[in-house]
Amino acid sequence: MRKRWMPVVLAALMAAPGLRAAERSFVQVDGTRLLQRDFAFSRTLARLKAGQEVRVLQTRGNYDLVLAGSRRGWIPLMALKGHRPQIGYSSQAGGQASTEEVAAATKGFNSDVEAEYKARNPSLDYSQLDRLEALTRFADPLDELRGFRRSGRLGEFSAAAQ
């Protein structure tokens, strides 16, 4: 009797929103966090390597529940694709991001990275970027944040905190 119901139960589970048959995908960025829950500030269970194969078990919002080896956790949808990443080709040649470009993106575009990029690309115009940077620079960022919270009645300035 039980055996006859098993296909019906499996079919119903697969038809449920967000659930699907395990689908093969690949991590696109080295160091992608495998999360305990489906939100950005969740505990990190592991860091995955670019090109690592995972099995997608379920989708909820902007996250996929995946099986990565023997570990199960959540990864942002944008971190996965149906093909292995092609790191190593130059984006200027029309391919994917180069290893250097991926490294710069993951460590942040700080002044050292900017200086190196400017040295390698002297013909690019940085005036718009410099103007935008000047508009967003504050003498005391913490004071600016405090003023923002005060004017918006947020945090310690909210009605609930009074």
At 100, the pLDDT band (50, 70, 90 cuts) reads low
Write out the residue range of the structural domain in which residue 73 sits: 14-81
Residue 95 within a domain: yes
Residues 21 and 67 in one domain: yes
Cβ neighbours of residue 18 under 8 Å, at least 6 residues apart? 58, 59, 60
CB 32 within 8 A of CB 26: no
pLDDT in tens, 48-97: 988 899 999 999 988 999 999 999 999 988 888 887 766 554 444 455 55
Residue 162 within a domain: no
Cβ neighbours of residue 20 under 8 Å, at least 6 residues apart? 14, 56, 57, 58, 59
pLDDT in tens, 50-61: 889 999 999 998
Mean pLDDT score of the chain, rounded to an integer? 77
pTM: 0.45
- Out of 50, 81, 112, a domain closes at 81
CA–CA gap between residue 43 and residue 35 (Å, rounded): 6
